Amino acid sequence: PEGRRIGALEVGAGTGGTAAQVLPVLAPACDRYIFTDVSDFFLRQAARRFGSFACFEAALLNIDADPRLQGFASHELDLVVAANVLHATPSVLTALRHCRQLLRPGGALVVNEAVRVFRFVQVVFGQTDGWWLF
Ligand SMILES: C[S@@+](CC[C@H](N)C(=O)[O-])C[C@H]1O[C@@H](n2cnc3c(N)ncnc32)[C@H](O)[C@@H]1O
């Protein structure tokens, strides 16, 4: 709605590859950009890199578990970004439900996922347990 600034959350934001592109564009219109990951290591790195953006916040979030049990309010956000993370959860359906839980009615989920098989990617990332969780 006019006059209200965007509340956004990124799931599995990791090394910040997506945030580095999205955050500078959204920042002028953003009230909150909550950079989340299951790993605290990435959050500390991100705070150093993106801390100068007034809307930047960092928080732990396992999207496989209920966000309400991890300190997140229901249906408060306008935008959830999930870039190359949903495949790393045991149930994509559960992860999608939890994304929806975070969004206001009419909010948007932006998903970026690999949908084609590249041998190079399989060989490199296939060495990690998370790649096969789905
Ligand atoms: C391939 S990286 C993508 C990083 C980032 N989204 C980007 O586009 O640069 C996947 C990230 O998902 C995180 N992740 C894995 N399982 C997760 C889960 N259950 N909930 C939230 N994040 C998770 C990992 O810690 C990792 O940082």
State whether the beta carbon of 107 lies less than 6 angstroms from ligand 1: no
Question: Residue 31 domain-assigned?
Answer: yes
- Spatial contact of 64 and 110, defined as CB atoms under 8 Å apart: no
Residue 43 lies in a domain: yes
Higher-confidence position of 102 and 118: 102
Q: Is 23 within the bounds of a domain? A: yes
pLDDT digit string, tens, across residues 62-73: 999 999 999 999
CATH number for the domain harbouring residue 49: 3.40.50.150
Distance CA 16, CA 48 (A): 11
Taking CA atoms only, the protein residue closest to ligand 1 atom 14 is 12
Q: Rounded to the nearest 5°, which phi and psi values hold at 91?
A: -135, 110
Residue range of the domain that includes 63: 6-132
Sequence-separated (6 or more) residues with CB below 8 Å from residue 28: none
pLDDT single digits (tens) 49-108 = 999 999 999 999 999 999 999 999 999 999 999 999 998 899 999 999 999 999 999 999
Report whether residue 11 contacts ligand 1, using a CB cutoff of 6 Å. Answer: yes
Angle between helices 40-50 and 19-26 (to 10 degrees): 50
